[in-house]
Amino acid sequence: MAKKRLLLVIGGAWHPFDRCAEILKELLEDTGRYTMDITDSRDRLKRGAIRKYDAVLAYTSSGKLTKDQEHGLLDFVKAGGAFIGLHCATTVGKTNSGYVDLIGGTFVSHGPVQEFPVTITQRDHVITGRIPDFRITDELYLLDKFDPKAVDVLATAMWKGKTQPIAYTKTYGKGRMFYLALGHDERALLHPEFQKMVRRGVDWSLGKQQAKPLKVGVVGYGCQFRMGQLHLQSLRDAAGFEPVAICDRLPERRAEGKEDYPGIKTYASMKRMLDTSDVELVVVITEHNTHPRLAIQCLEAGRHVVTEKPFCITVKEADEMIRAADKNKRMLSVFHNRRWDGDYLAIKNAIAAGLLGDVFQIEACMAGYGHPSYWWRSDKRISGGAFYDWGAHIVDWVLGLVPAKITEVSGYFQPKRVWHDVTNEDHCNAAVRFENGCSATIELSHIAAIGKPRWRILGTQGALVGDGEKFRVVSHKDGIELDSQMKFFESDWHAYYRNVGDHLRLGEPLAVTPESARRVIAVIQTAEQSSKAGKALTLPKHCR
């Protein structure tokens, strides 16, 4: 299918137009659906020039449109073209009545650049569906000549006790218009919810439809933590999917599923579920060593698959799973919902804000002294080992903090030092070195009589340490020494399935890719191999 052609009009004062244009171009062209031209000449809006485009985006400020420019744009949209106005586009053409009618209002003033909350007012619209209320650092634009009855308001913010429109749509002739008031500078344009609304706003303006909600099922409903119930609830509430199937070998667990989800169909055999049900996405919540076989069986049956963590136990298994997904053109992911833990989100924010400078050392630890319990998670043959439970999350966290290839991994494992009646290791330690000079140590232990903070991170301009509910952060950024406390962000585990919904229904990027999951397994597997070999080892080339 041919890519749609977009025109981005930039230019004016008070905004970093060139850098923001680069961000917008990359954002939209990375979808694979669009190609974008960028111009600071408004003459490209004239009839002769604009007709070769499918949509026009305006991220430009001040000034008046000539009659030819205004009429060219209005006729373009009336005839079925798409127009997307961003932020300062409402400062343009205040005396151009036709343009004001198209974009829905004119800029009056704005507050200071500061953080403020944005409220989603329509949660079932394609542009704002599965987007939670959020906070953003930006200018809050105030509009004049705005008629809420003439548009469809999707998001708002408050200014001095009055509701202000942040995002809205309208039809104009045969065309569509979307306006988003956010976007003062790079901080706003790199905000994930801003990017979602821009990408979806372009899609909606060009008439793209989202796919229908998928029908979902789980394999392995019961177990100790009632994970099947939690997965189905999040799939339903966060992604809008429809739970239709539960597969579990035990009849009492199937009965429990029917009680939780009246009318749902249950199965004792996954093969029968795949053969007779209309389930489209299957979540595999079984023992670790069964994930590859069951995931591949579902993929070969044409179903999308999410596995509980860990993804699998070996890189070879991960390769086989990824090949099956690629062959059958189906989504494959692992439930790394802990990427949205409040402490981890706070760490990423501190690093992004430059409080730590360049991170060169990370220490992550979950340790205590106590028997690991008699269950399959303590059986190495089934679980893969002590590193494959919480360790999968911690390795995933660390890899998400260091944007560099891995050069080597050293493992230091202590098997059967204290708890001889289980087969997992008592203590696991992995040292990971990265190409950018950063190193990380990851420790999990059942024989650590004295523990450590979960996190200690060192950077060239500061450090972070702590666990519980807040971190201590010491920063020397900009030559000013700060020693303060930083509260954790609010955890948002539903974000995982919101992203799965966005990916399958709108084609948006998948947050937890199977390749990133395979890299986690490669670190864990290589750490164990290194411990046995007594030397540092490198990862397989395709996992580094």
Local confidence band at 110 (pLDDT 50, 70, 90 cut-offs): very high
Q: Which of 11-15, 78-82, 188-192, 280-284 has the lowest mean pLDDT?
A: 11-15
Q: Are 192 and 495 in contact (CB under 8 A)?
A: no
Q: What kind and span of H or E run contains 401?
A: helix 390-401
Quote the pLDDT of residue 210.
87
**For the residues 431-449, what does the mean pLDDT come to?**
97
Q: Are 202 and 34 in contact (CB under 8 A)?
A: yes
Residue 358: half-sphere exposure toward Cβ, Cα within 13 Å: 7
Distance from C-alpha of 110 to C-alpha of 290, rounded to nearest angstrom = 57
**For the residues 259-268, what does the mean pLDDT come to?**
95
Local confidence band at 245 (pLDDT 50, 70, 90 cut-offs): very high
Q: What is the pLDDT of residues 24-49, one digit of tens each?
A: 999 999 999 999 999 999 999 999 99
Q: Who contacts 177 (Cβ-Cβ below 8 Å, separation ≥6)?
A: 77, 82, 83, 84, 85, 102, 103, 104, 169, 170, 171, 205
Beta strands 215-219 and 175-180: pairing type? unpaired
The residue that leads in pLDDT, 227 or 431, is 431
Backbone dihedral region for residue 363 (phi beyond 0: left; psi -120 to 50: alpha; all else: beta): beta
The DSSP bridge partners found for residue 458 are 361, 463
**DSSP for 294-338?**
HHHHHHHTT-EEEEPSSS-SSHHHHHHHHHHHHHHT--EEE--GG
99: how many CB neighbours lie within 10 A of its CB? Answer: 25
Asked whether residue 101 carries a pLDDT value surpassing 80, the answer given is yes
Distances (CA, A) of 155 to 106, 145, 151, 195, 336: 18, 18, 12, 14, 29
**For the residues 467-486, what does the mean pLDDT come to?**
93
Distance from C-alpha of 338 to C-alpha of 505, rounded to nearest angstrom = 23
Q: Which of 74, 122, 85 is nearest to 107 (CA)?
A: 85
Quote the pLDDT of residue 226.
80
Strand order, beta sheet including 439-445: 406-415, 425-434, 439-445, 359-367, 455-459, 462-466, 470-475, 482-487
Q: Are 278 and 303 in contact (CB under 8 A)?
A: no
All structural domains of the chain: 4-205 (3.40.50.880), 215-337 (3.40.50.720), 344-543 (3.30.360.10)
Distances (CA, A) of 3 to 6, 9, 19, 84, 395: 9, 19, 24, 18, 38
**For the residues 330-343, what does the mean pLDDT come to?**
97
Quote the pLDDT of residue 443.
97
Q: Please give the distance of CA 170 from its chain centroid, rounded to a whole number.
A: 28
Asked whether residue 224 carries a pLDDT value surpassing 80, the answer given is no
The residue that leads in pLDDT, 95 or 179, is 179
Q: Which of 409, 428, 424, 426 is nearest to 522 (CA)?
A: 409
Residue 100: half-sphere exposure toward Cβ, Cα within 13 Å: 18
Burial status of residue 335 (CB atoms within 10 A of its CB: 0-12, 13-18, 19 or more): buried
The DSSP bridge partners found for residue 475 are 462, 482
Decide: helix, strand or coil at residue 137: strand
Q: Which of 113, 111, 157, 167 is nearest to 137 (CA)?
A: 113
Quote the pLDDT of residue 223.
61
Residues in the chain, total:
544
Angle between helices 390-401 and 514-533 (to 10 degrees): 110
Q: What stretches of 71-223 adopt beta strand conformation (E)?
A: 82-86, 106-110, 114-120, 134-138, 141-144, 152-159, 162-172, 175-180, 215-219
67: how many CB neighbours lie within 10 A of its CB? Answer: 11
Quote the pLDDT of residue 378.
87
The 8 Å CB, 24+ separation contacts for 250-258 are: 250/222, 252/222, 253/221, 253/222, 253/228, 254/221, 256/221, 256/222, 256/229, 257/221, 257/228, 257/229
Give the whole-number percent of the chain exceeding pLDDT 70: 100
Q: Are 132 and 120 in contact (CB under 8 A)?
A: yes
Asked whether residue 222 carries a pLDDT value surpassing 90, the answer given is no
Beta strands 152-159 and 82-86: pairing type? unpaired
Q: Are 167 and 153 in contact (CB under 8 A)?
A: yes
**DSSP for 378-400?**
G-HHHH--GGGSHHHHHHHHHHH
Beta strands 455-459 and 462-466: pairing type? antiparallel
Calculate ∠ Cα 35-14-12, nearest 5°. Answer: 55
Quote the pLDDT of residue 1.
74
Q: What is the pLDDT of residues 445-476, one digit of tens each?
A: 999 999 899 999 999 999 999 988 899 999 99
**For the residues 130-139, what does the mean pLDDT come to?**
95
Asked whether residue 421 carries a pLDDT value surpassing 90, the answer given is yes
Asked whether residue 516 carries a pLDDT value surpassing 80, the answer given is yes
Local confidence band at 294 (pLDDT 50, 70, 90 cut-offs): very high
